[in-house]
Structure formats: C-alpha cells, structure tokens
C-alpha cells in the first residue's frame, strides 16, 4: 500500500458527460500528480500541484482540469468525455525538496470507461 | 526532450532464474533520477528501485539491482531468483533534477513461469 488513495476505482460513463476523480496523497506529501495510462499513449504526465498551486503541466486536454485543496487532496475533472478518454488515471504524490530524491508514489488508479 | 526506450516488449523466464530488463534514455541533463516501476495485473504502479545519476554505485533492493551506465545512458534492471509474483509490466522512468515529471518507457511485460 503506497498510502495514496484514489476514488472511485472504477467508473463507467457516457460520452459527453463529466466526471470527477479524487485523490488523497500520502501523509506529509505536498505534491500531487495526475497521470493517464492508455493503450495507445502509454503513461503520460497530465499535471502537478504543489501545496495548492499548479506547478507543472503536461499533456492535459483543455476539457480536463484539476485542483488541489487546502487539505492537500486533489480532484481531476474530466468533461465532455469522448471514447478516447477511456483510460486508467493515476494519482501520485511526493515530498518535493526532500533528500529522498523526489520519489513519486502512485495510487491504485481510477479506471474510466466511456461508452 | 527526454526519451526512454525499453527495447524488449516481452520476456519470459523460469522461476528462480535471473532476468535482465533493458532501458536506455536520451538526455542532455547531467543531474537526474532513474526509476523502475512494476505494474502487476492489479494495475497498481509499484516503485521497485531508484538511482541518482550522481551516484556511481548501482542501487540494490533485495533481489533487484540495476546496472547504471551513465556514459552509455543505460539503466538495466536485474531480478535474481525470480518468483511468480514478479510477473508484471516493468516500466523504466526518467526524471531530471528540479522537475517532478516522470518520463516513462513503453514497458516490458515479464512473465515468470513455474
């Protein structure tokens, strides 16, 4: 158990809909990351938040948005869903700036299926 | 931009054998970190081992060890005394110092046969 908690574990929704994925980082971790794993794109970095502020942005679509709340949990919002958005979405966390080498720990992922 | 290449899409060995998974990367950075993650059928991403580029000594974690060749930009993972529970996808990943983004390879599917 990495200590990173994601909900829901599985989600099936229709095209055009909007969903929210939730993540609680490991205790003490200030950074939260979102990654997408799909069959054709592999593992891709979407976005990083550090202590409530957006820190880095990757290949995140404009239809997707994220935020990190004062209690450090994070939400990834996916809207106007398309079939191609079906993927495993990982949340991860780390203690940025530590001597641990910025190791990133992943949650179990949220399976999103768009039908 | 950094790229990570895993040239072995699939590998299969017998239980108790030793297996080596290959990874090469391309970067102009001098300070960075390298990781191996394991993704079993449950799909969870589990950290196996990490290596700091400034350290010449190869990292080890129990049955897992790496062969880090900085000049060759190579970072292979050796699994000794392989076990059935080692069956998984293995991803090599790169992170440059000062950035928090992991760049992943395409993965190697490893099967340990009884």
Segment A44-70, tens digit of pLDDT? 999 999 999 998 899 899 999 999 999
The answer on pLDDT for A98 being more than 50 is no
Query: Is B46 in Cβ contact with A33 (below 8 Å)?
Result: no
What integer best gives the mean pLDDT of chain A?
91
- DSSP 8-state class, residue B71: T
Average pLDDT over residues A75-100: 87
CB atoms within 10 A of CB A81: 20
> Please, how many CA atoms are within 13 Å of residue A40, restricted to the half-sphere of its CB?
4
Q: How many residues does chain B have?
A: 114
Q: In the prediction, which pLDDT does B97 show?
A: 82
Residue % of chain A over a pLDDT of 90:
79
pLDDT grade for A15, boundaries at 50, 70 and 90: very high
Local confidence pLDDT in tens for the 114 residues of chain B: 789 999 999 999 999 999 999 999 999 988 899 999 999 998 899 999 999 998 889 999 999 999 999 999 999 999 999 999 999 999 999 998 877 789 999 999 999 999
When CB atoms are compared, the residue of A45, A50, A109 closest to B102 is A45
Average pLDDT over residues A17-42: 92
Q: Which of B1, B4, B38, B45 to mutate to test the interface with A (most CBs of A within 10 A)?
A: B45
Q: In the prediction, which pLDDT does A103 show?
A: 80
b/e code B55-94 from CB counts within 10 Å (16+ = b): eeeebeeeebbbebeeeebebbbbbeebeeebbbbbbbbb
Query: Is A94 in Cβ contact with B102 (below 8 Å)?
Result: no
The CA distance from A17 to the nearest CA of chain B, in Å, is: 25
Residues of chain B contacting residue A42, judged by C-beta atoms under 8 Å apart = 104, 106-107
- Tokens (6 digits) for B111: 């099967």
């Amino acid at each position: 158990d990495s200590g990173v908690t994601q909900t829901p574990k599985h989600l099936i929704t229709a095209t055009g809909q909007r969903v929210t994925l939730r993540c609680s980082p490991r205790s003490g971790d200030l950074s939260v990351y979102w990654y997408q794993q799909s069959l054709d794109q592999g593992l891709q970095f979407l976005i990083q938040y550090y202590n409530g502020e957006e820190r880095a942005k990757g290949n995140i679509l404009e239809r997707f948005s994220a935020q990190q709340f004062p209690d450090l949990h994070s939400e990834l919002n996916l809207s106007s869903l398309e079939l191609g958005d079906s993927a495993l979405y990982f949340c991860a966390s780390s203690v940025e700036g530590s001597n641990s080498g910025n190791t990133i720990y992943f949650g179990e992922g949220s399976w999103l299926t768009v039908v | 931009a950094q790229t990570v290449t895993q040239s072995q899409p699939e590998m299969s060995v017998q239980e108790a054998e030793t297996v080596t998974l290959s990874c090469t990367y391309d970067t102009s950075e001098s300070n960075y970190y390298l990781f191996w993650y394991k993704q079993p059928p449950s799909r969870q991403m589990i950290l196996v081992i990490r290596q700091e580029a400034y350290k010449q000594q190869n990292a080890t974690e129990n049955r897992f060890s790496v062969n880090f060749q900085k000049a060759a930009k190579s970072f292979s993972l050796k699994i000794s005394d392989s076990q059935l529970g080692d069956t998984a996808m293995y991803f090599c990943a790169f992170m440059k110092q000062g950035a928090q983004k992991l760049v992943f390879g395409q993965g190697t599917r490893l099967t340990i046969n009884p």
